[in-house]
Amino acid sequence: MKFLINIGLVLLFSSMVSAQRILIHSHNDYWRTQPFYLAYSQRVASIEVDIFATENAGELLVAHDKEELPGAPTIDDAYLQPLVNIFQQNAGRAWKDSDDLLILLVDIKSSYDPALYILIEKLKQYPEVFDPEVNPFSVRVVISGNRPSVNRFIYYPSMIQFDGDKTSYTPEQLEKISMISFNFRNFSRWNGRAPMPEEERERLLKVIADVHALGKPIRFWGAPDGPTAWEAFHTMGVDYINTDRPEECTIFFKNLKK
């Protein structure tokens, strides 16, 4: 009975989402030919950037691993300053003609200390862009990767939220969690082309329902990335569609709506 209720919740949530904005997450966005700007021009809902703290004071470099650090851009140049410029141009919004929110998901690859402290100091310079207590349309900065203990989430300022990775949190902790992300391969081996095995589909539907029961959106990383998978995930109620192809994904959903 509980499983049937969970399925019902997923179907209800899915029907609600289908009438709303399609939330596309630009995974590893810094690998695009035009980092930030390509995804932003597609009006994606979430943009992911990986960062490392370095030996240089106050420096955060954008890279997936240490081998990419030589010549890597700073987060200031690649993401923060472009966002500041856009918010100044658009009167405090991500897009001039919309109240849609934009997430900057920051995946910390080095130790969170001092990387998270350095990032917060940078964000504090522009509260009108990054602090929802100052601007309700501000960029939502969500921390993933190396994070502090969940018991410490509540001690971070309002401009910082976190990417969850489980379904058991206290109500106080949940207030600091923006979304919950799971490795798709922990639930399914589906390749995104052949029909999804029913047992794996039921497993995915259950975890989707569990996350929605917490009042949070869900994202799967490491998932199949193509039209069949995008449509399947959207139909199942996955909130953030994780993709390395934000332009193609956006076009696909525009055509699907038509």
Query: Is the distance from CB of 172 to CB of 154 less than 8 angstroms?
Result: yes
**196 confidence band (pLDDT: 50, 70, 90):** very high
Question: Degrees (nearest 5) of the Cα angle 248, 251, 257?
Answer: 140
Instruction: Report, as an integer, the average pLDDT of 51-66.
Output: 97
User: In this model, does residue 199 exceed pLDDT 80?
Assistant: yes
pLDDT over 70 percentage in the chain: 93
Residue 108 β-bridge partners: 51, 145
Q: How many residues does the chain have?
A: 258
User: In this model, does residue 142 exceed pLDDT 80?
Assistant: yes
Query: Is the distance from CB of 158 to CB of 132 less than 8 angstroms?
Result: yes
pLDDT at position 258 is: 75
For residue 184, give the CATH number of its domain. Answer: 3.20.20.190
Q: Helix %, strand %, coil % for the chain, to 5?
A: 45, 20, 40
pLDDT tens, position by position, 130-141: 999 999 999 999
Query: Is the distance from CB of 181 to CB of 165 less than 8 angstroms?
Result: yes
pLDDT tens, position by position, 61-117: 999 999 999 999 999 999 999 999 999 999 999 999 999 999 999 999 999 999 999
CA dihedral of 60, 64, 67, 70, whole degrees rounded to 10: -40
**20 confidence band (pLDDT: 50, 70, 90):** confident
pLDDT tens, position by position, 210-251: 999 999 999 999 999 999 999 999 999 999 999 999 999 999
Model confidence, pTM: 0.91
Query: Is the distance from CB of 189 to CB of 201 less than 8 angstroms?
Result: no
Cα–Cα dist 132/129, whole Å: 8
Q: How many Å is the maximal CA-CA distance in the chain?
A: 57
Query: Is the distance from CB of 143 to CB of 102 less than 8 angstroms?
Result: no
3-state secondary structure 27-96: CCHHHCCCCCHHHHHCCCCEEEEEEEECCCCCCEEECCCHHHCCCCCEHHHHHHHHHHHHHHHCCCCCEC
Sequence-ordered strand ranges (E) for 110-204: 140-145, 160-164, 177-183
Least confident of 18-22, 48-52, 88-92: 18-22
User: In this model, does residue 11 exceed pLDDT 90?
Assistant: no
Tally of domains in the chain = 1
User: In this model, does residue 25 exceed pLDDT 70?
Assistant: yes
Instruction: Report, as an integer, the average pLDDT of 142-155.
Output: 97
Residue 219 β-bridge partners: 181, 240
Encoded amino acid at 34, one letter: Q
Cis peptide before 227 (omega within 30 of 0): no
Q: What is the domain range of residue 97? A: 2-257
pLDDT at position 17 is: 40
Q: Which helix (H) or strand (E) holds 211?
A: helix 198-213
Return mean pLDDT, the chain.
Answer: 93
